[in-house]
Structure 1
Amino acid sequence: MKEAIIKVFKKIGLGFMEPLIRLLTNEEPKKNFKEVLKRIVAPIASIFIFIGLWQMGSNSLYEKEAAYKIETTKINQGEEAAQKLKVCMESGEPKCQPNTLPSPSQVFGAYKKLLADHKRIAADKKAFKEKTATLNESREAQGLKPIVYTGRPSFVDQILTSLKTVFAGFLLAMFIAVPIGIILGLNPTLRSSINWIIQIFKPVSPVVWLLLVFMIVKTMNKNSDSDSSFLISFISVGLCAMWATLVNTIMGVSTVDKDYINVAKVLKLGPVQKIFKVILPASLPLIFTGLRITLSVAWMVLIAIELLAQSPGLGSFVWEEFQNGAMDSNSKILVAMFVIGLIGFALDRIMLFIQKMISFDKGAM
């Protein structure tokens, strides 16, 4: 029973819990106690240390900014105005607080505020949908477009938009890079002829890809009602992130053991059968490593691309809060930063889990 539980925990990415399970069942207490300290207690302690250092840094910057504001007010407006500002700051009044690095509690407060805002917007959407249901049925019967909710998206809506964009870009990258990589990997002459294109375009900035895609999509999409910002965003993400998969696929296919190729010849497999029964299974670990890197790159460049393409995702959220300059804007930006980091980590773990499920590359890190 114990081993079955440990196996399940490992499969879902919670292998670090193994020593705790063994310790609770009194298996090698001394050894497993040390492992629990190393694998569980130390990481938890590091979280508290990080929060403590963050709080100290926030307090230090707050005091420095407060002292500067008070001194500036004293010089420009006099002693009385400076004292009033100091009293206002000590009272906690939001309007006179220094706009600097927020504390952990302020960021958590902004997180709760964003969730409450999402619930309010979700309720408004639901009420709008119920209110316009009958009218939209009538409009659809007449061949007219339904009336849609046009209010601002919530923070959760923007997260979902970013996830939709990154997955669309990832799929585009995969469908372009893997087939081309297989073709180039199987043909050394073609590979050496086209290698210069890969080496030139691989390091190009996401901003440049965005501008190129914008030129093309703007022309091709002139008379269309589709969402141009989404098209521009996911195509730019895909083109920018596909190179790791392309290079790894070429490397994986071109280094397939010659014995496998000879077996395919002996069995008289056709080109398609050879690719799907011999080439792909043998090169799958390298291809998946490339896909994992591609997904990570896609998520990293997405924020900048969404910002420039005016797509209503996390990139747009961060830029709007930065431009807004409200007292809680810095806290909301940090919430977005943590969300971006956690989603990026989760995406990487998901890709690693899938890789372990469908390949024999048990040593992937």
Structure 2
Amino acid sequence: MATAYADDKAPPKPAEIEAVERGAKAITTDATSGSKPSVADGEGFRKFLGRWGEPLIAPIAGIVIFLGLWALLAPQVDTSLGALPGPVEVAEQGGALYDEWVAANDQEAEFYAAQDDANEAAIAAGNPGAVRDFEYAGAPTFVDQIFTSLYTVALGFLLATIIAVPLGLISGLSRMFNAAINPLVQIMKPVSPLAWLPIVTMVVSATITSADPLLAKSFVISAIVVTLCSLWPTLINTAVGTASIDKDLLNVGKVLKLGWFAKLTRLVLPSSLPYIFTGMRLSLGVGWMVLIAAEMLAQNPGLGKFVWDEFQNGSSQSLARIMFAVIVIGLIGFGLDRIMMGLQSLASRNRTV
């Protein structure tokens, strides 16, 4: 037994030590060159997916899938103008509309250059009476109509904000005033722009009688319709935000004997600002949606009129142009909402109450 015990505890032979060292070195080499990078790569991919999956990868995947389904199913839908255009056809018409805008700008520049040359020649010939200052009368392009729609919705939204915010503040501070206007708000809020349009058209036509008004009648009609349909979200949210102000805060204002203006600017407005901006975001979205219908019927030269004119045109390219206009309308609406969201975040960050 003693001999067996001694043999078990005997030091390994040099050959055995060398074999063990070679095995350990092989294991170490495999761990550093093979398995470790694969684990690191997997962890890096999971981190990348966790960070960018929801904000970037998922939206891009959704858009790609949508475009694929659109391209696949569009040729299967037959209309009076032919098969439904796919993404490629719509994009081509977008490029054609841009080319038309560039060509129209070149024609306008040539017109004014020719007019300036003619005026200089008339002055040089001693005939100043022949000098002309005509405005270019070319048809508005798609890009021009985009800017017209933006101007229209901006005016309507501005008027809606000027009306809605003061009424909402008073309504939130006075329960009696709120009870007085609440039935009117609930009745007027669901009225369609198509119902407002004839009334507004008659009122504006009776009010603007000048042959050369500062603002075109169609532009004013569209802006007022936008105002009447978009002011309600701002009014309601402002009233809710003002009414939800902490009563202790108002009592502090009474203790400090703040005037109504100081109370309004230092207590009421800062506290209700998030609600006001939420209402303004909703109002801007409603106004942009209403504007297209208003421009169609009022024939204001904006995106709504462009869609209507292409529908009436009925050419083989009209459907693709209408679809491109719809995409542009959606993208502009999304951009306007992002702008309002940024302003809301900025205003909420700088609140003092």
Structure 2 length as normaliser, TM-score? Answer: 0.80
Q: Which residue of 2 aligns with 1:29?
A: 44
Q: Which residue of 2 aligns with 1:156?
A: 143
Equivalent runs, 1:192-203 vs 2, <5 Å = 192-203=179-190
Q: Which residue of 2 aligns with 1:127?
A: 110
| One of 70, 73, 79 as aligned partner of 1:54 | 70
Counterpart amino acid of residue 221 in structure 1: I
Q: Which residue of 2 aligns with 1:351?
A: 340
Q: Which residue of 2 aligns with 1:215?
A: 202
In the TM superposition, residue 173 of structure 1 has moved relative to its aligned partner by: 0.4
Total equivalences in the alignment: 301
Equivalent runs, 1:250-329 vs 2, <5 Å = 250-329=239-318
Distance 1:258 1:200 in 2: 30
> Mind listing any 5+ residue stretches in structure 2 that lack a counterpart?
1-40, 123-127
> Contact 1:241–1:295 at 8 Å: present in 2 too?
yes
In the TM superposition, residue 58 of structure 1 has moved relative to its aligned partner by: 1.4
| One of 188, 203, 213 as aligned partner of 2:175 | 188
> Contact 2:76–2:83 at 8 Å: present in 1 too?
no
Change (3 A) 1:313 1:128: same
Q: Deviations over 1:120-153 (max 9, x none)?
A: 0111122222333478899xx99x9942111100
Q: Which residue of 2 aligns with 1:229?
A: 218
Question: Aligned with 1:167: secondary structure?
Answer: helix
In the TM superposition, residue 360 of structure 1 has moved relative to its aligned partner by: 4.2
Counterpart amino acid of residue 85 in structure 2: P
Q: Pick which of 259-268 and 238-247 moved more.
A: 259-268
RMSD (Å) for aligned C-alpha atoms: 2.6
> Contact 2:115–2:132 at 8 Å: present in 1 too?
no
Q: Pick which of 334-343 and 180-189 moved more.
A: 180-189
In the TM superposition, residue 100 of structure 1 has moved relative to its aligned partner by: 2.8
Q: Which residue of 2 aligns with 1:206?
A: 193
Change (3 A) 1:146 1:202: farther
Counterpart amino acid of residue 343 in structure 2: I
Q: Which residue of 2 aligns with 1:165?
A: 152
Change (3 A) 1:119 1:225: same
Q: Which residue of 2 aligns with 1:99?
A: 82
Matched, 1:112 2:99: no
Q: Pick which of 36-45 and 304-313 moved more.
A: 36-45
Distance 1:361 1:335 in 2: 39
Q: Which residue of 1 aligns with 2:14?
A: none
> Contact 1:185–1:253 at 8 Å: present in 2 too?
yes
> Contact 1:285–1:361 at 8 Å: present in 2 too?
no
Question: Aligned with 2:82: secondary structure?
Answer: coil
| One of 58, 62, 78 as aligned partner of 1:42 | 58
> Contact 1:58–1:102 at 8 Å: present in 2 too?
yes
> Contact 2:152–2:223 at 8 Å: present in 1 too?
yes
Distance 2:318 2:91 in 1: 13
> Mind listing any 5+ residue stretches in structure 1 that lack a counterpart?
1-25, 70-97
In the TM superposition, residue 200 of structure 1 has moved relative to its aligned partner by: 0.8
In the TM superposition, residue 244 of structure 1 has moved relative to its aligned partner by: 0.3
> Contact 2:148–2:302 at 8 Å: present in 1 too?
yes
Counterpart amino acid of residue 154 in structure 2: F
> Contact 1:166–1:298 at 8 Å: present in 2 too?
yes
User: Looking at CA atoms only, which structure, 1 or 2, has the larger radius of gyration?
Assistant: 2
In the TM superposition, residue 224 of structure 1 has moved relative to its aligned partner by: 4.9
Distance 1:268 1:50 in 2: 61
